[in-house]
Amino acid sequence: MKNYIEKFLKYLEVEKNYSNNTIAAYQDDLMQFNDFLLKHFGNASFKLSMIDHLTIRLFLGELLEEKKSKRSVARKLAALRSYFKFLVKNKVIEQNPGLNVATPKLPKKLPVFLEESAVEKMMDLPDTSTPAGARDKAILEIFYGTGIRLSELINLKLENVDFVKSVLKVVGKGKKERIVPLGRPAVKAIENYLARRNELLKPETNRKDNNIVFLSNHGKPLYPRGVYNIVTGYIKQVAELEKKSPHVLRHTFATHMLNRGADLRAVKELLGHKNLSATQIYTHLTVERLKKIYEQAHPKAQ
């Protein structure tokens, strides 16, 4: 089975253009399933045709007994379905055993976001008199003003910023490019940062590094953990949220757009979502907000 797993992962990389993180997650899930099969069949030479929907159910049941979250189990099932679909397509097996396995019901978790007042306070926190502060302000403004992902921000190159048209060109999931507009605050913050950016350069900053927009205090491109620490540090100062991450600003962008009347399909394109269903989660937030307003304002609400 390991041989086919390697071929499947290569397929995801070359033909599907999946990110390294996604491929690594698929690899972990499939290797975990392979380890289960070795115990289940008690024979390293088992045939793939021996795997049926009951085998997969037993695997998922074992995960749930180990107190794995339903969300994690659902993700592993999705990985198995994709893997077996690949095997069917390549005529290794006749049918996909994962299709007849029900996905665990997931609790609906609404995205965490900041109120507009909290965002305003947060934008005033960075000390823009310093290169690092100017950089932090630009990062916050871009996240909130465009809704781009963490991976998209750290891979931004200087050539991706168009000040004439006030847009960014970002490379999203599946290496798909999209253009996102920049508001005036974001444009101003980026200009201020780029005016001070050379102060972050160090002797070890090479030509490739120097093409990346956001640099660390050591003159190297910021890593995801570095951006995470920067953003969560500012969020902590303006809101008491259980979950804090750069993704909170992406959620905040989408929520505020919809609250102010933006079209759902337009928000989908801005976020770089493949399917509208991924964007619809934010409509739940706007509905809850309307309910709250109704309950507070209407005399017959209570």
Tens-place pLDDT, residues 91-109: 999 999 999 899 888 777 7
Q: Edge-to-edge strand order for the sheet containing 167-171?
A: 161-162, 167-171, 177-181
- Identify the domain boundary among 54, 89, 124: 89
238 in any annotated domain = yes
Catalytic site residues?
149, 173, 247, 250, 273, 282
- Identify the domain boundary among 89, 107, 142: 89
Query: Given the structure tokens 């190159």, which residue do they identify?
Result: 157
The fraction of the chain above a pLDDT of 70, given in percent, is: 95
Cα 21 → chain centroid: 11
The span from the CA of 55 to the CA of 1, in Å, is: 15
300 in any annotated domain = no
Which residues have C-beta within 8 Å of that of residue 10, sequence separation ≥ 6?
Answer: none
What is the count of structural domains for the chain? 2
pLDDT of residue 79: 95
Tens-place pLDDT, residues 12-65: 999 988 888 899 999 999 999 999 999 988 877 788 989 999 999 999 999 999
On whether the pTM is more than 0.75, the answer is no
Give the residue numbers spanning the domain of 164: 116-295
- Identify the domain boundary among 73, 89, 105: 89
Tens-place pLDDT, residues 228-282: 999 999 999 999 888 889 999 999 999 999 988 899 999 999 999 988 988 888 8
206 and 82 belong to one structural domain: no
39 in any annotated domain = yes
pLDDT of residue 183: 95
155 and 291 belong to one structural domain: yes
pLDDT of residue 290: 67
147 and 57 belong to one structural domain: no
120 and 84 belong to one structural domain: no
The fraction of the chain above a pLDDT of 90, given in percent, is: 72
Using DSSP, state whether 186 is helix, strand or coil. Answer: helix
285 has a pLDDT exceeding 70: no
pLDDT of residue 293: 66
